[in-house]
């Protein structure tokens, strides 16, 4: 069986500067991959390109999602096909309630899956159940999208959306940053609840701590636009002890990814 | 509201102006051009009393001495006032009951979603339908009459309630006020009249639906609403027109009078044909709307959602004369493609402790131009007057323009005015966030715009709010990508 997500030699530039310099990665259904790496190494860029941000220029490479050529799809088509990005910096939309926003989104995704749309009442009970999993306040749905949310509330909101939309691949971009330990546990429990043999995760993080709660199958180190090392969860511990400097010399090496082993 | 927004988005499927059809109705149309004979023609057709002829001719003679205003930030070729027909009315009119209405007219209003049969009406909305120059049907009349409320066409009011009409017509907007008001006074052919007696709360929304149908005609309607002491009325106005290559002139006058403790709420959803993408055709909407809070503690509130017309030139205003009276103006003005809007309000504070509130949301897309122009004038005697103004602009794309001209004149040192203004763009970040959740770009724009206008839309009566949201979405289709 081929991987749910296949990235082949992806090179990406922004404003003429090459940020991703040949990334290859296979993520199989059911796997959780962690991507770590220093600031500016290109982690968010990878997430953004996968989600379809238009200002990035793809110089080379190919990305297949469930066998489809992902790079040719519009962002909303990718979302409807089951690709979800939990944003590092969720955007505020004044005046638009979370309920309106999420019901619109959910019904688009459901339509793509061949399901009937949910009416407001069905949506409410569906959403409330998932809110309770994350211990969220009932007024959450009435608030404007991300407006005036604390950092932690925004992150929790992203995970809530993940629970709601039930994607096939979720990319979490530093969802743990800015969370206190209790919130971190809640977020992790939400993600763990969603783990299934059909669903995959790419978890971008700086901290081994998150990986205690969301235990990854594979850990990658992205360094200067390349994956310089791939290993099991013990790699994350090693990074925590030693930092990234010792990998600098490996920046030039091309390492096999797990999928090819 | 949030729930309805979803519904609205799902219903929006077409990007063309969907009211653009022409109904095949036999109409009587006045000869093209304007002179005293034409005014006599209109006066005769309407069977008006002698004093109305005097009234009209005085306005006409004054109009001839006036220049068309050019100070608004809109551009259009000179209008040939001799090339317009000033009167068009369906031939079969003088109906005794709704059943007698020309089936073709009935079908047309049904197509517009305005059923004229009373039993089919949404509970709580009485409708007056004005087609071209003439009122064709007013519903729920008897029920209102029981409360002493008069809701009828202007023509009928001139016949049946001459004392009220003579007392108030032109009292808020005199024919000398401006070029288009003078023209309207000379040639207006119909419109709606409302009188709510002392202490009566009108139990339903009163609504007039204006429709231009005939070609090469102008529409000049006249609306007069009087709320007597302690009365309350909420009035709605909607309008559409067929798609035509030519520009058609719509120059209405609306006058509101609120006596002691009275409240008038006037809502407009303006959706005249805006012209095509290149700016061909569309209505010139040159309208004078003004209310006066004559009495103490009275209140006038204008809410408008302006999405149509090639050019919009209108400033619904309030003269705050009675002590402690309140004026409000809530506006959403959307321009797309080549549309131009120069709109805003005037709040004239005369009485002590008067308060006004202005919330204006301009949205410009395509190659359009969207101007807010507002005047807050606080006169010497207006002790402790207060004004709050917020005028925001939202830009979609980079070929459109938004401008604000807020004029504030304060002649009383105890008055306080507050002004806030903000210009924003629909950011890539916002759109991308929506799209990443599966929402298409156009739906995302509609969602964001509805959120942006929420504060204004909340002031519309329920049914109109839904309509307005649909309109916002439709009028902005094709504005991105
Ligand atoms: N829109 C942009 N314009 C210019 N440069 C950009 C843009 N987006 C990203 N970059 C640059 O690309 C590089 C990689 O950025 P990216 O955000 O992908 O890093 P990251 O690994 O996510 O870092 P962090 O850990 O700090 O989140 C950085 O040097 C950044 O400045
Ligand atoms: Mg990042």
Q: Let me know if residue B458 belongs to a domain.
A: no
Which residue, B459, B436, B434, is CA-closest to B446? B434
Q: Let me know if residue B211 belongs to a domain.
A: yes
A206 alpha carbon to ligand 1 midpoint, in Å?
15
- Per-residue model confidence (pLDDT) at position A173: 94
Q: With pLDDT > 70 as the criterion, what percentage of chain B qualifies?
A: 80
Q: Let me know if residue B426 belongs to a domain.
A: yes
Q: Let me know if residue B448 belongs to a domain.
A: no
Provide the token pair at B412: 């009383």
CB contact under 8 A, A104 and B433: no
Between CA B450 and CA B245 the distance in angstroms is 30
Minimum-distance CB partner of B451 among A94, A103, A120: A94
**What number is the average pLDDT over the span B48-54?**
94
A48 alpha carbon to ligand 2 midpoint, in Å?
10
Ligand 1 atom index nearest CA of A37: 21
- Per-residue model confidence (pLDDT) at position B62: 96
**What number is the average pLDDT over the span A205-219?**
92
**What number is the average pLDDT over the span B301-318?**
90
Residue bearing the bigger pLDDT, B183 or B466:
B183
pLDDT, chain B, mean = 83
Best mutation site among A17, A45, A55, A207 for ligand 1 pocket (most ligand atoms within 8 Å of CB): A45
Residue bearing the CA closest to ligand 1, atom 7 = A14
- Look at residue B239 and tell me whether its pLDDT is greater than 80: no
Q: Let me know if residue B86 belongs to a domain.
A: yes
- Per-residue model confidence (pLDDT) at position B435: 97
A35 alpha carbon to ligand 2 midpoint, in Å?
11
Provide the token pair at B173: 């907007």
Q: Let me know if residue B435 belongs to a domain.
A: no
User: Which residues in chain B have Cβ-Cβ distances shorter than 8 Å to A52?
Assistant: 432, 435-436
Query: To the nearest whole angstrom, how far is the Cα of A81 from the nearest Cα of chain B?
Result: 9
B188 alpha carbon to ligand 2 midpoint, in Å?
65
Give the domain extent around B165.
2-430
- Per-residue model confidence (pLDDT) at position A169: 98
- Per-residue model confidence (pLDDT) at position A261: 37
pLDDT, chain A, mean = 91
Q: Let me know if residue B175 belongs to a domain.
A: yes
Write the pLDDT tens digit of every residue in B422-454: 888 887 899 999 999 999 988 998 899 888 888
> CB-based burial of residue A71 (10 Å sphere; 0-12 exposed, 13-18 middle, 19+ buried)?
middle
Which residue, A259, A261, A254, is CA-closest to A228? A254
Most confident range, picked from A40-44, B89-93, B113-117, B211-215: A40-44
The region of weakest confidence among A173-187, B67-81, B95-109, B414-428 is B95-109
Which residue, A99, A105, A102, is CA-closest to A82? A105
Which residue, A210, A109, A95, is CA-closest to A164? A109
Interstrand relation of A218-223 and A32-36 (parallel, antiparallel or unpaired): parallel
CB B274 within 8 Å of CB B300: no
- Per-residue model confidence (pLDDT) at position B309: 79
Query: Any chain A CB within 8 A of the CB of B294?
Result: no
CB contact under 8 A, B429 and A90: no
- Look at residue B288 and tell me whether its pLDDT is greater than 70: yes
Minimum-distance CB partner of B2 among A54, A80, A99: A99
Number of independent structural domains in chain B: 1
User: Which residues in chain B have Cβ-Cβ distances shorter than 8 Å to A80?
Assistant: 438
Name the strand (E) or helix (H) holding B432: helix B428-436
CB contact under 8 A, A104 and B451: no
- Per-residue model confidence (pLDDT) at position B457: 85
């Amino acid at each position: 069986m081929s991987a749910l997500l296949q990235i082949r030699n992806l090179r990406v530039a922004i404003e003429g500067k090459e940020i991703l310099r040949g990334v290859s990665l296979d993520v199989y259904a059911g796997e959780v991959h962690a991507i770590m790496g220093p600031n500016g190494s290109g982690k968010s860029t990878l997430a953004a390109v996968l989600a379809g941000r238009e200002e990035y220029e793809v110089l080379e490479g190919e990305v297949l999602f469930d066998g489809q050529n992902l790079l040719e799809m519009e962002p909303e088509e990718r979302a409807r096909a089951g690709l979800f990005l939990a944003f590092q910096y969720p955007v505020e939309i004044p005046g638009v309630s979370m309920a309106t926003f999420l019901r619109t989104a959910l019904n688009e995704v459901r339509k793509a899956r061949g399901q009937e749309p949910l009416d407001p009442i069905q949506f409410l009970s569906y959403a409330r159940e998932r809110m309770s999993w994350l211990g969220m306040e009932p007024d959450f749905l009435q608030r404007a999208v991300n407006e005036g949310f604390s950092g932690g509330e925004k992150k929790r909101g992203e995970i809530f959306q993940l629970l709601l939309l039930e994607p096939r691949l979720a990319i979490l971009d530093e969802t743990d940053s800015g969370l206190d330990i209790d919130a971190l546990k809640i977020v992790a429990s939400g993600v763990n609840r969603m783990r299934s043999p059909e669903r995959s995760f790419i978890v971008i993080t700086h901290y081994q701590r998150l990986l205690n709660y969301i235990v990854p199958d594979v850990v990658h180190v992205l360094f200067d636009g390349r994956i310089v090392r791939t290993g099991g969860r013990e790699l994350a511990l090693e990074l925590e002890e030693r930092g990234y400097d010792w990998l600098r010399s490996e920046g030039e090496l091309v390492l096999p990814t797990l999928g090819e082993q | 509201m949030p729930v309805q927004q979803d519904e609205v988005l799902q219903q929006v499927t077409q990007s063309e102006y969907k009211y653009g059809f022409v109904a095949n109705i036999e109409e009587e149309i006045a000869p093209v051009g304007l002179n005293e004979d034409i005014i006599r023609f209109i006066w005769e057709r309407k069977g008006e009393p002698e004093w109305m002829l005097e009234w009209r001719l005085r306005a006409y003679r004054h109009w001839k001495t006036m220049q068309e205003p050019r100070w608004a930030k809109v551009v259009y070729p000179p209008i040939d006032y001799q090339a317009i027909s000033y009167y068009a009315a369906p031939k079969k009119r003088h109906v005794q009951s709704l059943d007698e209405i020309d089936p073709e007219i009935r079908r047309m209003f049904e197509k517009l979603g305005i059923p004229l049969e009373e039993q089919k009406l949404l509970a709580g909305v009485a409708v007056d339908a004005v087609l071209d120059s003439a009122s064709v049907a007013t519903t729920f009349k008897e029920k209102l009459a029981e409360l002493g409320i008069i809701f009828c066409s202007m023509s009928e009011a001139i016949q049946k309630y001459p004392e009220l009409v003579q007392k108030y017509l032109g009292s808020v907007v005199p024919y000398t006020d401006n070029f288009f008001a003078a023209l309207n006074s000379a040639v207006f052919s119909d419109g709606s009249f409302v009188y709510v007696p002392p202490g009566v709360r009108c139990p339903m929304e009163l609504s007039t639906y204006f429709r231009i149908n005939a070609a090469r005609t102008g529409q000049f309607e006249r609306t007069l609403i009087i709320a007597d002491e302690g009365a309350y009325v909420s009035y709605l106005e909607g309008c559409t027109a067929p798609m035509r290559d030519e520009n058609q002139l719509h120059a209405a006058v609306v006058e509101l009078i609120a006596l002691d403790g009275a409240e008038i709420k006037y809502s407009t959803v303006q959706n005249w044909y805006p012209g095509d993408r290149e700016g061909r055709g569309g209505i010139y909407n040159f309208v004078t709307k003004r209310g006066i809070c004559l009495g103490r503690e009275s209140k006038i509130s204008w809410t408008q959602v302006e999405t149509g017309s090639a050019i919009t030139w209108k400033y619904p205003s309030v003269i705050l004369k009675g002590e402690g009276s309140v004026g409000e103006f809530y506006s959403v003005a959307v321009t797309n493609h080549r549309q131009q809007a120069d709109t805003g309000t005037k709040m004239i504070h005369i009485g002590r402790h008067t308060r006004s509130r202005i919330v204006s949301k301009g949205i410009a897309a395509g190659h359009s131009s969207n101007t807010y122009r507002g005047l807050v004038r606080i006169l010497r005697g207006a002790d402790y007057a207060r004004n709050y103004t917020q005028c925001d602009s939202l830009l979609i794309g980079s070929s459109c323009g938004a401008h604000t001209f807020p004029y504030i004149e304060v002649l009383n040192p105890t008055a306080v005015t507050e002004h806030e203004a903000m210009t924003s763009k629909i950011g890539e970040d916002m759109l991308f966030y929506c799209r990443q959740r599966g929402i298409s770009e156009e739906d995302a724009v509609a969602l964001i715009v509805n959120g942006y206008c929420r504060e204004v839309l909340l002031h519309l009566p329920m049914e109109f709010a839904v309509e307005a949201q649909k309109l916002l979405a439709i009028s902005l289709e094709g504005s991105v990508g």
